[in-house]
Amino acid sequence: MIGRLNGILLEKQPPFILVEVNGVGYECQAPMNTIYNLPEINQPVIVHTHLSVSENAHTLFAFYSLEERKLFRELIKVNGVGPKLALAILSAMSAIEFVQNVRAGDSIGLVKIPGVGKKTAERLIIEMKDRLKDWQVTGVSLPENSSQSASMSSDSNIQEAISGLVALGYKPQAASQAISKIDDDSLPAASLIRLALKNM
């Protein structure tokens, strides 16, 4: 089991990141809240990981904090919630926002997440309420300003954001429409995805 990576961040294309450790590049999928906390490209990075093994693939998921990884592991224990949906949940809202929704029994807030219907939202609340009773999230913060290389064009950011939304479960047309509603298309892809998820 690969539990942590300590290396250099080579790529950051939501929801994928590439971390080089001793000459080996590890491609991981990461939620948006993790991507917001990552350093710039070619900078040292440490991420906590979870290896998901299925018949068709071995997928590595990366998280900025141990708390976020712990919540991911709790989510995939819920009946009907796999790694892909767990990643979408942690991309649509922060760990603490999810905990607050579950504690409050707010299924309306949860059904806004792609892939989460009414029944799944109710199941999440029922199965996770006791597990999250004493939950505390520390050490995770969203930076006020998120930036990428100035050389990246706004068109590239838009396409990257649309691809990221599609990877999270949205249909291409819905993803494109969500991005087009954002006033500032010069924002980095991670910021565009975050705003689109909030608006949707």
Q: Tell me: the pLDDT tens digits for 57-108? A: 889 999 999 989 999 999 999 888 889 899 989 888 888 888 888 888 888 8
**Residues 85 and 61 sit within 8 Å (Cβ to Cβ):** no
> pLDDT (tens digit, 9 = 90+) per residue, 19-48?
999 999 999 999 988 988 899 999 999 999
Query: Helices (DSSP H) in the chain: which residue ranges?
Result: 32-37, 66-75, 83-92, 95-104, 107-110, 118-128, 154-167, 172-180, 189-199
- Predicted local confidence at residue 153, as pLDDT: 45
Residue 20, phi then psi, degrees to nearest 5 = -95, 125
Report the top-level CATH class of 4-63: mainly beta
Q: What is the DSSP letter of 152?
A: S
CA distances from 31 to 22, 149, 199 (A): 24, 20, 17
Higher pLDDT, 60 or 131: 60
| Domain spans, the chain | 4-63, 67-128, 154-199
Higher pLDDT, 4 or 145: 4
Q: Look up the CATH architecture of domain 67-128.
A: Orthogonal Bundle (1.10)
CA distances from 177 to 32, 94, 174, 180 (A): 19, 23, 5, 5
Superfamily of domain 154-199: Ubiquitin-associated (UBA) domain (1.10.8.10)
- Predicted local confidence at residue 155, as pLDDT: 65
Query: Using CA atoms, how far apart are residues 80 and 41, in angstroms rounded to an integer?
Result: 35
Fold matches, 4-63 and 67-128: no
> pLDDT (tens digit, 9 = 90+) per residue, 101-129?
888 888 888 888 888 889 999 999 999 88
Q: pLDDT band at residue 154, thresholds of 50, 70 and 90?
A: low
Residue 141: pLDDT above 50? no
Written as six digits, the tokens of 184 are 């500032």
